[in-house]
Amino acid sequence: MAKKELLSIRSIVAVGIGSALFVILGRFGSIPTGIPNTNIETTYALLAVFSLLYGPVAGLLIGLIGHTLKDFIFYGSPWFSWVISSGLVGLIIGLLVAGISIQDGVFGKREIIRFNLAQIVANAIAWFAVAPTLDILIYAEPANKVYTQGLAAGAANIVTVAVIGTLLAVAYAKTRTKQGSLRKLG
């Protein structure tokens, strides 16, 4: 879907709507896991799916814009280290899944594995390394605290995308089936 041009109108609109979705799901779409302070943030499943659909640039921008707006509108002030990491997740997933043509309905076992490897790499880099390091650089917080937080958040996001993101991508691919292959039953 419009991956040829870096910033087609469709990708611009996808960034706008994707960011709005990120804001709404970021605020309303968290499910408690039962482990204290660790939630299933469904908004990262959305981010992964939109990166898959609209490419790395859109993924990067949705992460940056969506996260900034969400923090601003609901919590008063953006938490920059995590904003940057969200953008990074979108970018890396988008880069690593390039070539999967999900809009043609292709999303089988191979694509699922590739998508999940991409999201694991992306989330690991963003939450295990970048976010805590930025926390230390910007806010000079204790290293063991921020790395533990990063580890928890990253793990939760990996699980979220693996389950919800994969289910969404598979379901989306199924909606792209062509009518030609179907016949009415008696």
Minimum CB distance to other proteins smaller for 126 or for 164: 164
> Chain centroid to CA 99: how far?
18
- Measured distance CA(98)–CA(160) in Å, rounded: 21
Please name which of 98, 24, 18, 101 lies closest in space to residue 63, comparing C-alpha atoms.
Answer: 18
Q: How many CB atoms are located within 10 Å of the residue 79 CB?
A: 17
- Measured distance CA(176)–CA(172) in Å, rounded: 7
88 near other proteins, rule: CB under 8 A: no
The interface mask with other proteins, positions 126-165, x = CB under 8 A, is ------------xxxxxxxx--xx-------------xx-
- Measured distance CA(32)–CA(43) in Å, rounded: 14
The interface mask with other proteins, positions 51-70, x = CB under 8 A, is --x-------x---xx--x-
Contacts of residue 117, defined as CB under 8 A and 6 or more positions apart, other chains included, come to 96
> Chain centroid to CA 16: how far?
15
92 near other proteins, rule: CB under 8 A: no
Q: Which member of 4, 99, 109, 175 binds other proteins (CB under 8 A)? A: 175
78 near other proteins, rule: CB under 8 A: yes
20 near other proteins, rule: CB under 8 A: yes
100 near other proteins, rule: CB under 8 A: no
Q: Which residues bind other proteins (CB under 8 A)?
A: 7-10, 12-21, 23-25, 27-29, 31-34, 37, 40, 42, 45-46, 49, 53, 61, 65-66, 69, 72-78, 80, 138-145, 148-149, 163-164, 167-168, 171-172, 174-179, 182, 184-186
